[in-house]
A = this chain, B = another copy of it.
């Protein structure tokens, strides 16, 4: 049995023992979603990404990466997540915004209001575009309806999330909860948030409803 499978079983056991909403955490490193038109501009008409790892149902990391740059810096290898989306969106951490020299808003995914301008390049061909597409994705929780129902939680509720890592215990407040049949149960944090709490991908966060903080 591999380590990841064993970890998942341990997680399930803990949840059952505690009967509290401990939810697994997905930590997002910087990544990009491309529109069909921008994919064509960078890789040629009707180019198809090569999936290498499923992330969530229907969403995958692709083999392909792009270089993304701003006035102060460059990330030479940013993973493209597929499939293509309606709009190109580059998700980065606040630390990353300082490294690039591109001020970006903290927005819900899909909201490009005020998004930062970056240069996106296919490193193999040199094809490049500039887009106002860079946002810091706001932390959020995805729950399946049966999980939400079990713990009395509702779609669009604001909750707190507690992480109890030794020496870095913290509580994120005002975290948006979304409930849908399409989701898997998962907390979505970025690398700044994860590292502030010494939280690793797959670690459990505890949902606290009500006004504890």
Contacts and interface: CB of A to CB of B under 8 A. Distances in A.
B94 A95 contact: no
A93 B196 CA distance: 9
A95 B191 contact: yes
A193 B106 CA distance: 16
A202 B151 CA distance: 39
B198 A195 contact: no
Contact of A167 (B106, B196, B213): B106
Contacts of A197: 196
Contact of A192 (B95, B106, B162, B212): B95
A190 B212 CA distance: 26
Interface magnitude class on chain A: 20 to 34
A173 interface: yes
| Secondary structure of the A contact surface, majority rule | mixed
A106 B171 contact: no
A95 B194 CA distance: 9
Interface string A40-79: 0000000000000000000000000000000000000000
Contacts of A167: 106, 138, 174
Interface in A104-148: 106, 138-139
Interface string A162-173: 100001111111
B170 A173 contact: yes
A171 to B, nearest CB: 4
Contacts of A174: 167, 169
B162 A213 contact: yes
Contacts of A170: 170-173, 196
Nearest to A106: B167
21 contacts: A94-B195, A94-B198, A95-B95, A95-B195, A106-B168, A106-B198, A138-B167, A139-B168, A162-B213, A167-B174, A169-B174, A170-B170, A170-B173, A170-B196, A171-B171, A192-B192, A192-B195, A193-B196, A195-B196, A196-B196, A213-B213
